[in-house]
A and B are shown apart, each in its own frame.
Chain A
Amino acid sequence: MTLPIASSEESRAWLRAELRTRKAEVGYTLAAGVVAAVATIIPVYVLGRLVDQVRDGAGASAIIPISLVIVVSALIGGAATGLSTYLVGRLGSRMLADLRESTVATALRLPALVLDRAGRGDLLSRVGADIAAIGKAVSEVLPQVISAVLLGLLSLVAMAGIDWRLGLAGAVAVPFYVFALRWYLPKAAPRYAQERAAVAERSQLLVESMQGLRTVHAYRLEDRHQADIATASAKARDISVNVFILFTRFGARINRAEFFGLAVILVTGFWLVRNGTVTVGETSAAALLFHRLFNPVAMLMFTFDDVQAAGASLGRLVGVVRMDVPAVPSGDRPAGSALTLDKVSFSYDGITPVLHEVSLRVEPGERVALVGSTGAGKTTAASIAAGILRPSQGSAYVDGVPVPDLPPRTVAIVSQETHVFAGPLLEDLRLARPGATTEEALAALSRVGALTWAQALPEGLDTLVGDGEHELTAAQAQQLALARLVLLDPAVAVLDEATAEAGSAGARDLEDSAAAALEGRTALVVAHRLTQAAAADRVIVMEHGSIVESGPHEELVAAGGWYAGLWAAWSARTPAAASAAGSASASPASASGSGSAGSSAGD
C-alpha cells in the first residue's frame, strides 16, 4: 500500500484553486510579462518599418523617431522583464511555501498504521526530494518558461498583425514543435527514470562501501565491492549516453521546426511582397522576430521534462495534502489517570491476530511492567495504550475517556526507536513543550541524570546535535527522550524497551533515568531487562497476544510459572547477584542448563 498520488486533474484543480485565491497577484504578474514581451517585439517591428523607409529613399533624419521608439521600449522592456521575473518567482515561491508547509503538517499527522504500510521512504522522498524538485523548478525554470510562452504567443500575434497570412506562416512551426515534444516526452520519461535509478544504485553502492569500509576490509570484500561499483557505474554511463542520443534526435526535430517556420515565412513574405500586400520591411521583421524565438523556444522545449517532473512531484505532494488526518482532540485532561485496556484485539493484516482480548488496568501512580518473548504483543499493547495504534476491537481508556479522544499531552510513549532532532539540544527538548525556559529544560535533564554530559557538550544546551552534527551516544539519545517526557509531563507514560540498545553498563544508568522520569505518573513499561520488571509494582506476562500471568514480582517468582523460569534464567547469568538474592539455580556451572531452559520457554 502506498501513499496516494493526485491525478493530473486533481493537481490542476489544486492549482486553479490556489491561483483563484491570489487573483490580484496573478493579474499584475501576467501584466508585467505581457508588457515585457510587447516591449521586446516593438523594436523589431519598427526596424522592419525602417527597411521600408530605406527602400523608399527616406532621408537620414528618419532615424530619429525610430531611435526614440526603440530606446524607450528597450528601457520599458528591460524593467518589465526584470519585474516579471521577480513576480513570477514570487508567486510560485509563495504557493510552494504554503504547499510544503501543509504537506509536512499533514505528513506528521498521518496515522501510524498508514505510514507503516506505505513505508517511510515514500513520505521522506515527498517531503525531501519532491519539495526540492518543485522549488528548483519554480525558482529556475518557471520565470523563463512563462516569458518564453508569452514571447512566442505575442510574436505570432505581431506577425498576424502585419498580415494574417504571415501570422499563419509563423504558426506553421507550432505543430512541428508539438510533434517533436510528443515524440520525445513519452520516450524520455522512462529513460530518465531509468537513469535516475541507475545513478541512485551507483550512489548507494558507493555509500554502503564507504560507510561499511571496516566490514568490507574485515571480510576482504574490497574486490567484490569494487566490481559491483564498476558494474553499476558502467550501467549508469551507458544509460546516460543512450538518453543523450535520444536528446540529440529531439534536437534534430526542433531544428526541423525552426527551418520550416523560417522558410515558410520567407516564402509567404516573398509571395505577399510580390502581391503588394506587405512590404519588404514587414517580411524582414517577421523573419527576424521568428529567428529571435529560436533560443527561448528551444529552451522551453528542453525544460519541458523538468516541468513534467515538477508536475509529477506536485501530484505526489497534493496527494499527501488531500489525505484525511485525525483531528486533534481538545478539552481538559481527565482528572484521574487510571489506564485501562478493555478486551483489546489487534491485527496488522486483518488475518493474524497480534493481540487477543487483552484487558488490563494500571491504577493511578502505579508502575506495571509488561514481560514476554519477542512477538508476544507487548509493543502492540503499549502502542494501543499510548494511542499510536487503534485497536481492531475493544478500547483503551484513561480515566474512562477513550485514548484517541484525550487532549494532547495526556499519554506519552517513549519507544526503542530514538531520534535526536537536528539542531540545538535545547530546541530538541522544546519539541516536547514549546516555550519551555532554559531552567525547565535543565531541570528535566537533571532529573533523568543527563545534566552532566549535556553541560559538558562543547556549547552546552546550544550545541548542535543530530544528523551531521555532534553525535550523541545511544544512551544519551535515550536519556534525551526521557528528558522530553519529563518536560512534557504527561499523567500517563508508556515506556517501550527504552534501555535495550544501551549495552549492559549503560542499561543500569538508563533504568535509573527511566525510574526518575516515571515518578508520579501512571506507567506501563515494556521490560526486556528483568530488573525493570523486578522494580515495578506489578508484572504482566504476555504470550502469543494474551496475558498469561499477572502479579507482583515476588508472587510470580514464588508461583513458579513462566515468569519464574525466565527470572531463573536471568539471575543465572549473574552468579553473585543471584546467590546474594538467595535464588535456587545460582552457580555459574548451571548457567548453561538454565539458559537453554529459558530459551525453550521463550519459544
Chain B
Amino acid sequence: MSSSGSGSSSGSGSRSGSRILRRVIARNGKRLWTGTALIGVHQACEASIPILIGVTVDSAVGPGDGMSLILWVSVLALLFVVLNVAYRFGSRQLMKAIAEEAHVLRVEVAAKILHPRGAQTGFRTGDLLTVSTTDADETSYLLDYVPRIAGSIVATIISAVTLLWISVPLGLTVLVATPIVLVLLQISAPLITKRVADQQAQAGRATSLATDLVTGLRPLRGIGAQDAAADRYRAVSRRSLAATLRASRTQGAYQAASTTLSTLLACGIAVLAGWFALTGRITVGQFITVIGSAQFLMEPFGLLAIVPSWVAEARASADRVAQVTDAGMVLPEGVADPSEERCELRLTGVRHGPLEGLDLRVRPGELVGVVANRPADAEALVKLLAVPIGFEGTVLLAGVPLENIERSRARRLLLVEPHNTDLFTGTIGTNVALSDDQPLTAALSAASADDVLELSADGLDAPVAERGASLSGGQRQRLALARALHARPPVLVLHDPTTAVDAVTEHAIAQGIRALRHGPDSGFATIVITSSPALLAVTDRVVVLGEGVVTTEGSHAELGTVDADYRRMVLR
C-alpha cells in the first residue's frame, strides 16, 4: 500500500484498527454467521465429491451393480444441489454484508474529511482518496476472509477424517506432508511479491508517462517534439517489458517448483495408497478416494496458508480508516452567533506564518484593495480568514473573535473565495446558484460571465464537466466570481479574481463588483487581494502589505501618483 502518508500506523493506530475490525464483525453478525455456516456446508460438499467417486467405483462400477449406481449417482446429484444452494445463498449474504460495510465505512470517512471544523488526518488528498476507496473496501473484505477460513477448516477436517478412517498411517502422512510442502512454497513468496511489485511499478511508470505525454500533447506538438516523446515512451516501455519478463521468469520458476512439489506429494501419497491397495489393506474405491482427497486438500490448506497475510492487509487498511475517523478537529467548536448583518472585519496585531503583526480594518460598505508585495503574505491572510487557527493577535468579525463564532454562521458572514477556483460536476446553475432562489442574472453580469451561458442552448443547465474541465480558465474564474457575488455575504474576500481574463473584461468586472456590492446604503464589505490596477481603481482604499505588515495605505490614484514602490508593484 502506498498510502502510509505521514500518519503512523503504530501505537494507538493499531488498536483503533483492531477496534474497527471488531466493529465490522459485530455490526454484520447475522449475515456473517449465516453466510459462514452456509459456506461451511458448501466446502463440506466439495470435500465429499472425491469420496463419492471412490464409493461409486467400489460399490457400483466394480461389482456391476445397477441399483447401486442409481443410488450413488442420485446422492451425487443431491450433493451438487446442496453444494450449490449453500454457496449461492451463503455468498449472497456475505456479499451484501461486505458491500454494505464498505459503503458505511466510506460514508463515515467522507463525513470526517468534509467536516467543517477540518479533520487533522495527516494524509494528503491522494491518500485520503485511497482511504475512502481501497482501504474501506479492504477493511470490509474481512467479512470474506472469516467464512473462507471457516470453510477451509471444515473441508480439511472432513478430508482428514476420511483419510484417517481409510488408513491411519496414510491419513497421517497426508496431514503432515501437505502443510510442510505448502510452507516450503511460501518461502519464495516474498521474492515473487517483490518482482511483481517491481513489474507493476514499471508498468505504472509507463502508463503515467503515456498519459503525461498525451496530456501535454499540445505543447509537444507546438515544438514538434512528438518523436522525441515517442522515443522516451519506447525506452520506458522496454524497461517495463524487462521488469515483466523478470517477474515472469520468477513466476515460472515458482510455478515449476510448486507444480513439481505438489505433484510429487500427490504422487507419493498415491504410490503409498497404491501399495496399501496392492497389499490388500484398502479397497480400490478407497484408493481412488485417497487420490482425489489428497488432490483436493491442497486447496483449503493453501488458503489457510495465505489467509493470514490477507487479514494483515485488512488490518493495515482498518488502521488507516481509523486514522481518519478518529482524527481530531482543527477548529474549536464555536458557539457565538453574532446576528449583525452589517459586519466589520478587524484584524489587530495578527502574526501568522509570514504575517508579522498585521492590522486591518474593513468597515461595512467598504471596498478595500489589498496589495501584497510577497505572494506568501496574501496566501497567509486568505488562509487565516478561511481557517482561523494558529495565529497570534485578534481577528474580530462583528466584534466577536472569528474562531469563537459557530462555523456555519461564520462562513455565512465571511466568504473567502480561494484563488484556485474549484467548480464541480453538474451544471452552470448548480455551480453558481448555491444558496437561494434569487435570479442569477445580476451576479453573472457583474462577473461578466453572461457569455458563458450563451455557449450552449441549455443556458444555466449546460453541463459542467469534472472540475470544470469543459470550460476555459477565464470562464471558470468568472463563474467562480459570479458564485461568490451571488452568495451575497456581508463580508467577501476575493483573491486575484481576474488573472485569467483579458484587460477589457477585467475593467467590466471591476465595475460590476462595485455596482453590485457597493451601491448606495450597501452594508457589504469587500476585500480584493490583487495587483490588478483595474480592480484597485474601483476600491475605496488600498492597503499595501510588505514584509508581513501594512506599509502604506491610501487611494489607488493617490498611491499611483506619489508612491514609486506602489507603481512598481501594480502599474505597468
B422 & A214 in contact (Cβ 8 Å cutoff): yes
A503 & B499 in contact (Cβ 8 Å cutoff): yes
A210 & B128 in contact (Cβ 8 Å cutoff): yes
- Say yes or no: A81-B49 contact (C-beta < 8 A), given A135-B203, A569-B507: no
A251 & B87 in contact (Cβ 8 Å cutoff): yes
Q: What is the CA–CA distance of A468 and B260 in the complex, to the nearest angstrom?
A: 45
A interface, size bucket:
35 or more
B510 & A595 in contact (Cβ 8 Å cutoff): yes
Contact residues in A for B240 (Cβ distance below 8 Å)? 97
- Say yes or no: A108-B284 contact (C-beta < 8 A), given A120-B217, A229-B107, A503-B531: no
A82 & B253 in contact (Cβ 8 Å cutoff): yes
B252 & A86 in contact (Cβ 8 Å cutoff): yes
A123 & B531 in contact (Cβ 8 Å cutoff): no
Which secondary structure characterizes the binding site on chain B? helix
A97 & B212 in contact (Cβ 8 Å cutoff): no
Residue with the highest number of chain B CB atoms closer than 10 Å, among A273, A508, A589: A273
In the A-B complex, the 10 residue pairs with the closest CB atoms: A82-B256, A78-B260, A86-B252, A212-B422, A419-B216, A595-B507, A89-B248, A588-B557, A74-B263, A127-B210
Contact residues in A for B83 (Cβ distance below 8 Å)? 255
A573 & B219 in contact (Cβ 8 Å cutoff): no
What 0/1 readout, one digit per residue, does chain B (237-255) give for beta carbons within 8 Å of chain A?
1101100110111011111
B467 within 8 A of A: yes
Contact residues in A for B259 (Cβ distance below 8 Å)? 77-78, 81-82
- Say yes or no: A481-B219 contact (C-beta < 8 A), given A97-B237, A273-B61: yes
Residue from B222, B267, B284 within 8 A of A386 (CB atoms): B222
A529 & B503 in contact (Cβ 8 Å cutoff): yes
- Say yes or no: A291-B292 contact (C-beta < 8 A), given A54-B274, A531-B572: yes
B263 & A43 in contact (Cβ 8 Å cutoff): yes
B95 within 8 A of A: yes
User: Could you jot down 6 A-B contacts, CB within 8 Å?
Assistant: A82-B254, A219-B415, A280-B62, A504-B531, A530-B503, A595-B510
With A139-B248, A210-B113, A588-B557 already in contact, 6 other A-B pairs whose C-beta atoms are closer than 8 Å: A55-B284, A206-B129, A217-B411, A263-B77, A408-B224, A595-B510
* Distance in Å: Cβ of A484 to nearest Cβ of chain B: 6
Contact residues in B for A267 (Cβ distance below 8 Å)? 69, 73
B225 & A100 in contact (Cβ 8 Å cutoff): no
Q: What is the CA–CA distance of A214 and B422 in the complex, to the nearest angstrom?
A: 8
Among listed A184-192, A234-242, A552-560, interface-contacting one:
A234-242
Contact residues, A209-263 vs B (CB, 8 A):
209-222, 225-226, 229-230, 233-234, 236-238, 240-241, 244-245, 248-249, 251-252, 255-256, 258-259, 262-263
Q: What is the CA–CA distance of A277 and B505 in the complex, to the nearest angstrom?
A: 95
B210 & A131 in contact (Cβ 8 Å cutoff): yes
B252 & A421 in contact (Cβ 8 Å cutoff): no
What 0/1 readout, one digit per residue, does chain B (200-240) give for beta carbons within 8 Å of chain A?
00011011111111111111111111111111111001101
Contact residues in A for B292 (Cβ distance below 8 Å)? 288, 291
B434 within 8 A of A: yes
A89 & B425 in contact (Cβ 8 Å cutoff): no
B295 & A292 in contact (Cβ 8 Å cutoff): yes
A501 within 8 A of B: yes
Contact residues, B479-503 vs A (CB, 8 A):
483, 487, 496, 499-500, 502-503
B312 within 8 A of A: no
Contact residues in A for B53 (Cβ distance below 8 Å)? 262, 266, 284, 287-288, 291
Contact residues, A78-97 vs B (CB, 8 A):
78-79, 81-87, 89-90, 93-94, 97
* Distance in Å: Cβ of A137 to nearest Cβ of chain B: 12
B115 within 8 A of A: yes
A431 & B505 in contact (Cβ 8 Å cutoff): no
Residue from A245, A507, A528, A596 within 8 A of B92 (CB atoms): A245
B411 & A89 in contact (Cβ 8 Å cutoff): no
A598 & B507 in contact (Cβ 8 Å cutoff): yes
Q: What is the CA–CA distance of A205 and B241 in the complex, to the nearest angstrom?
A: 35
Contact residues, A39-77 vs B (CB, 8 A):
40, 43, 47, 50-51, 53-55, 58-60, 62-63, 66-67, 70-71, 74-75, 77
* Distance in Å: Cβ of B83 to nearest Cβ of chain A: 7
Among listed A162-170, A455-463, A542-550, A574-582, interface-contacting one:
A574-582
A592 & B538 in contact (Cβ 8 Å cutoff): yes
Among listed A341-349, A392-400, A409-417, interface-contacting one:
A409-417
B532 within 8 A of A: yes
- Say yes or no: A588-B560 contact (C-beta < 8 A), given A229-B107, A421-B213: yes
Q: What is the CA–CA distance of A409 and B92 in the complex, to the nearest angstrom?
A: 62
A2 within 8 A of B: no
A251 & B88 in contact (Cβ 8 Å cutoff): yes
Q: What is the CA–CA distance of A527 and B292 in the complex, to the nearest angstrom?
A: 81
Q: Considering the complex, give the chain A residue whose CB is closest to the CB of B502.
A: A528
A89 & B225 in contact (Cβ 8 Å cutoff): no
- Say yes or no: A43-B267 contact (C-beta < 8 A), given A210-B128, A386-B222: yes
Q: What is the CA–CA distance of A419 and B80 in the complex, to the nearest angstrom?
A: 60
Residue from A210, A287, A431 within 8 A of B225 (CB atoms): A431
B interface, size bucket:
35 or more
Among listed B155-163, B335-343, B563-571, interface-contacting one:
B563-571
A422 & B288 in contact (Cβ 8 Å cutoff): no
Residue from A204, A225, A292 within 8 A of B114 (CB atoms): A225
A302 within 8 A of B: no
Q: Considering the complex, give the chain A residue whose CB is closest to the CB of B136.
A: A233
Residue from B248, B487, B532, B537 within 8 A of A588 (CB atoms): B537
Q: Considering the complex, give the chain A residue whose CB is closest to the CB of B221.
A: A388
A430 & B114 in contact (Cβ 8 Å cutoff): no
Among listed B7-15, B275-283, B389-397, interface-contacting one:
B275-283
Residue with the highest number of chain B CB atoms closer than 10 Å, among A219, A251, A432, A602: A219
* Distance in Å: Cβ of B212 to nearest Cβ of chain A: 5
A127 & B260 in contact (Cβ 8 Å cutoff): no
A213 & B256 in contact (Cβ 8 Å cutoff): no
Residue from B60, B73, B212, B237 within 8 A of A422 (CB atoms): B212
A248 & B287 in contact (Cβ 8 Å cutoff): no
Contact residues in A for B226 (Cβ distance below 8 Å)? 105, 108-109
Residue with the highest number of chain A CB atoms closer than 10 Å, among B204, B213, B483, B530: B213
A107 & B214 in contact (Cβ 8 Å cutoff): yes
Residue from A62, A234, A528 within 8 A of B503 (CB atoms): A528
Q: Considering the complex, give the chain B residue whose CB is closest to the CB of A82.
A: B256
Q: What is the CA–CA distance of A226 and B510 in the complex, to the nearest angstrom?
A: 35
B438 within 8 A of A: no
Q: Considering the complex, give the chain B residue whose CB is closest to the CB of A529.
A: B503
Q: What is the CA–CA distance of A467 and B241 in the complex, to the nearest angstrom?
A: 24
What 0/1 readout, one digit per residue, does chain A (131-155) give for beta carbons within 8 Å of chain B?
1100100010000000000000000
A500 within 8 A of B: yes
B306 within 8 A of A: no
Residue from A107, A204, A467 within 8 A of B208 (CB atoms): A467
B264 & A74 in contact (Cβ 8 Å cutoff): yes
A599 & B233 in contact (Cβ 8 Å cutoff): no
Contact residues in B for A60 (Cβ distance below 8 Å)? 275, 278-279
What 0/1 readout, one digit per residue, does chain A (485-506) give for beta carbons within 8 Å of chain B?
1001010000000001111110
A308 within 8 A of B: no
A13 within 8 A of B: no
Residue from B133, B211, B266 within 8 A of A206 (CB atoms): B133
Contact residues in A for B502 (Cβ distance below 8 Å)? 373-374, 500, 528
* Distance in Å: Cβ of B488 to nearest Cβ of chain A: 12
Contact residues, A364-414 vs B (CB, 8 A):
373-374, 386, 388, 408-409, 412-414
Q: What is the CA–CA distance of A221 and B408 in the complex, to the nearest angstrom?
A: 10
B569 & A574 in contact (Cβ 8 Å cutoff): no
Q: Considering the complex, give the chain B residue whose CB is closest to the CB of A264.
A: B73
B260 & A75 in contact (Cβ 8 Å cutoff): yes
A26 within 8 A of B: no
Contact residues, B525-562 vs A (CB, 8 A):
530-534, 537-538, 556-557, 560-561
A218 & B417 in contact (Cβ 8 Å cutoff): yes
- Say yes or no: A210-B417 contact (C-beta < 8 A), given A124-B215, A588-B557: no
B399 within 8 A of A: no
B256 & A79 in contact (Cβ 8 Å cutoff): yes
